[in-house]
Amino acid sequence: MLTERILGIDFGTSTSLIKVKTYKDGRPIDARDSSDYVRFDGAYSSVPTMLCHDPSYDEYHIGHQAAANSNQGELFQNFKMGLVSEDEEERKKAEELVHKFFTHLYEMYDNQRSSFPTCDSETTFVSYPAKWSASVAKTMEKIAVDVGFLDVYGIDEPSVAIHAVMIQRGDILEKLGGGDIAESQPCSSCGRELEPDMMFCDKCGVKKSADTTSATSSHNVLIIDMGAGTTDLALCHYTAGEKEIEILKTYPEENGVFFGGREIDTALWEYIKKYLADCGLPNINNEMQYIPACKKWKEANVSPSLNKNRAQNNCGFIAPMLAFAGEPKPFPAIGRSVFEDILSDYIRQFPELINGLFENLSDIKPKDVDLVILTGGHSQWYFVDEIINGYMTKFGAVNLPKIQTEPWRLVKLALPQETVGFGMVYQPMAEKAILKSEEVLHAEMPFDVSVDSTVQKYDLALTNNQLAVAPTVIPIAPTGDIYTFTGSKDMKGLITIVNTFLNITKDMETQVIEGDDGVAIQARSKGGTWKQLIGMDKALTVKFTPLGENQISVNMSAAKWLDKAGAMAMA
């Protein structure tokens, strides 16, 4: 049994996190849509992307410690953006700071390594904005490797956002007419209930009707990633069953409009400062230390209240200061009208961003957008949904007719600030969703293959842990992961059939690896790696293990090309 741990590092402009999920033979050992995470400072699921250099000791405080000691030295924030700077000196400084920060991330993970289920291998994903160049993404991958993370792959944020929706909200993709396989249904011949990933009935051998699986379809998906530092838009072309997600355009350009949550933090703090001045407290020392407290108040109190169209009537973190104000005035409540008044210019930028994406884009118009996915903690503000849905137009109109006609097309997961992290650790499951696709692994027409000098026509389906080879009668019948031969074919003949199917019918490069306990076939696209969904240097691997007379175990997974140990360790 092969156990693999997946790490997903969401390196954000203002906040970062590490998600962790463990798989055994490609299957999650816990709930399908759940994940574990690295704890920072004992309790937090995320860490501020922040460093503070203390000149007294020439040392760096990182993360939560940097926020707590921000008044003791030079504070570094937004340094992630320096990786794409055209100024070489600024870029090198950013790489130095990212290296220090990633060292902290690795130390936090390494200290907790034993608290996660034991594993045979680790794979690490690091997310990056789609607008970044390949060279910048590679720089970040190299830094992750240098500090100690294993088997590191960079992956763009829009792709993993779609993967997260694929796993947590597969119903949405089904509504679009593609994505996951439909629910179980009866066989058209014998009536046996067929599971979603079964292409043949394991009782009578009849092939599932073509119209009972999800149709392959293409859709235009707008992903709006709203973090504390920036808001990034990516227009993508998603085709159910295809290996890659095509990114058509990103917006804004580098060094463009930021539109992050931090601007709201600053505006709310200015509002509070004015109130404190009215209470006789005009001078606030160490002002920067109150911004993180204001951010927490915003997230825990202000945003939830305004989402319910209620006013926020108090501000707890300023209570110690008000103790010096004698009899302070009542706190000026913040309702939607007050919020929109103090942030009107800011809110107006949101529809401008969306409309700006479609400028000079001739092929796709707003009317062609089939789905909008919101990610990032900043996406939880009430005005975001209302502007996209066309309910709030006083700050500028957005015309997305499909979304505004059918609101289910606007998707926001339960924890939007963790969407990218979830999507990274879901990669093995997203990969399996592609393996279910007839386009990738199912032969539409029978093909000829020679077994023991006898030519027969075979129709073969190879899906997630189900394999069926059907001539006139099905020669193997599945029972869980174990298959019993019902015809005269042996394992060698079956391997020949599968190898021919992958090599000839699907035009893939294949290799057969023999081990002490069985045989594995690996397959990848000719001229390179079989990218599947995520561009990893891994190949589809089918492992055959004889169990006894006329019995064989068949397992499917992904292993590195030419990795005999990895391929043979699946079962």
Whole-number Å distance between alpha carbons of 52 and 493:
65
- What are the structural domains of the chain? 3-163 (3.30.420.40), 218-256+346-417 (3.30.420.40), 261-344 (no CATH), 442-571 (no CATH)
As a whole number, mean pLDDT of residues 459-467 equals 41
- Other Cβ atoms less than 10 A from the Cβ of 179: the count is 25
What's the pLDDT score for residue 187?
A: 74
Between 116 and 218, the higher pLDDT residue: 116
The whole-model pTM stands at 0.72
What's the pLDDT score for residue 215?
A: 42
Which 8-state DSSP code applies to residue 183? P
As a whole number, mean pLDDT of residues 413-434 equals 86
Q: Which residues pair with 126 in a beta bridge?
A: 9, 154
- Its sign, for the CA torsion 336, 341, 344, 345, is negative
257-308 pLDDT, tens digit each: 668 888 999 999 999 999 999 999 887 766 777 888 898 899 999 999 999 9
345-370 pLDDT, tens digit each: 999 999 999 999 998 888 899 999 99
pLDDT band at 328 (very low <50, low <70, confident <90, very high): confident
Which amino acid, residue 44? Y
What's the pLDDT score for residue 352?
A: 94
The pLDDT of residue 436 is above 50: no
Q: What percent of the chain has pLDDT over 70?
A: 73
The pLDDT of residue 211 is above 60: no
136-177 pLDDT, tens digit each: 999 999 999 999 999 999 999 999 999 999 889 888 877 886
The pLDDT of residue 528 is above 70: no
What's the pLDDT score for residue 506?
A: 67
Mean pLDDT of the chain: 80
252 cis-preceded (ω within 30 degrees of 0): yes
As a whole number, mean pLDDT of residues 404-419 equals 94
What's the pLDDT score for residue 451?
A: 37
Mapping DSSP to helix (H, G, I), strand (E, B) and coil, where does residue 272 land?
helix
The pLDDT of residue 531 is above 50: no
pLDDT band at 470 (very low <50, low <70, confident <90, very high): very low
What's the pLDDT score for residue 380?
A: 93
